[in-house]
Amino acid sequence: MFFDSIVIGGGVAGVFTAYNLSKYSKTLLIEKKHIGAGGSGSAGAFLNPKFGNSTLSQLINKSMNFSREFYLNNSPEFIHLSKLNHYEDNGEHFIFDSAVADANEILQLFSKNFQIEYINISKNNISHDGDFWQIDKFKTKNLVFTTGALSELTGEPYIKIRPVWGERLDIESDTFLENSFHNEISISQTINGKIRIGATHFRDIIERESSNIEREEFLSKAKNIVELKNAKIVGSTSGVRSASYDFFPVIGRVIDSKKTIQKFPQLIHGRKYNFTDFEYYKNLFIFSGLGGYGFSLAPYFGELLANSILNNKFLDDEVEPHRLFKKYVKNLRNRFI
């Protein structure tokens, strides 16, 4: 069966890429377990701004503003606005507009627009023939990997995505919170009788078991930020985030590193070339490395990526994978010197 585009991975990156592609082209999403089975389904889904004025903060905050409006217009029942009390280490206090999303409900809602098949794809299921990709029994022109922290499907050594395992808590408390708080950890306003506390961070860990002692310690941290009378833990979810090494998301065209180095052997010796002249896999894309900001980044970049795929254009340099390839080549060069 033929699809214009196939997206592999049913987290927030995959759902919003498929949602946007499906507006203009026949799109299939392939997921190995269920929608939200990865980190996205466990997210506290805070849409908190990133503090500061760095390029990364600007990118995240621009995406967050877009995505908050998007949810308000398209899924108002699953987005909860609040004022965020943000505390810096030095005690400075800022108030921002913020929001918390219902992760699984949003993923389910926007998955209704395209076909989904449940298959665990391995490299052996993927082949390329002329202009088309064969994925299991499906044929497509455009192939997008949105497999989160599991980035091995590209087989490319420069695409390095770090797993960051985390757990979020749901609590009940006699304290009603009208607004949310952030001081290293995030505490939501009271939503349907519950308060979400997000989240722990364990770098380079894909899977781990958390203990009740750890959960109680995490709750104590929250109580140091805001009074939570008679707080008791009523639920927890855990999963793995995907983070790039420079913390920017990785979105766009996948370079064939071997062919590019063969074409430009002087790359290894430091010669600069225009990235548009590199060798790319035909119509192969990736959207990963969303860090702790998947629900802010995905609606915004899902739309930009779909436009870039359908109009054959690059995205901005700060997100395209060619920056990772250049870093990889630089590291190879350093090994030769």
Ligand X SMILES: Cc1cc2nc3c(=O)[nH]c(=O)nc-3n(C[C@H](O)[C@H](O)[C@H](O)COP(=O)(O)OP(=O)(O)OC[C@H]3O[C@@H](n4cnc5c(N)ncnc54)[C@H](O)[C@@H]3O)c2cc1C
Binding site for ligand X (CB under 6 A): 8-14, 30-33, 37-40, 42-46, 120-121, 146-148, 150, 153, 166-168, 198-199, 238-242, 288, 290, 292-296
84: closest CA among 118, 49, 56? 49
Q: Provide the minimum distance between the beta carbon of 4 and ligand X in the complex, in angstroms, as a whole number.
A: 19
- Cα–Cα distance for residue pair 58/49, rounded to 1 Å: 9
* Contact status, residue 289 vs residue 324, Cβ threshold 8 Å: no
Q: Provide the minimum distance between the beta carbon of 144 and ligand X in the complex, in angstroms, as a whole number.
A: 11
Q: Provide the minimum distance between the beta carbon of 6 and ligand X in the complex, in angstroms, as a whole number.
A: 11
Q: Provide the minimum distance between the beta carbon of 126 and ligand X in the complex, in angstroms, as a whole number.
A: 10
- Cα–Cα distance for residue pair 111/103, rounded to 1 Å: 12
- Cα–Cα distance for residue pair 287/280, rounded to 1 Å: 16
Q: Provide the minimum distance between the beta carbon of 274 and ligand X in the complex, in angstroms, as a whole number.
A: 29
DSSP helix/strand/coil, 330: helix
Nearer to ligand X, 228 or 243 (CB): 243
Nearer to ligand X, 250 or 267 (CB): 250
Nearer to ligand X, 208 or 263 (CB): 208
Distance of CA 2 to the CA centre of its chain: 27
- Cα–Cα distance for residue pair 63/298, rounded to 1 Å: 8
Nearer to ligand X, 143 or 199 (CB): 199
Q: Provide the minimum distance between the beta carbon of 45 and ligand X in the complex, in angstroms, as a whole number.
A: 5
- Cα–Cα distance for residue pair 78/24, rounded to 1 Å: 25
Q: Which helix (H) or strand (E) holds 108?
A: helix 103-110
Nearer to ligand X, 31 or 156 (CB): 31
Nearer to ligand X, 110 or 293 (CB): 293
- Cα–Cα distance for residue pair 279/253, rounded to 1 Å: 10
- How many distinct helices (H) and strands (E) make up the chain? 7, 16
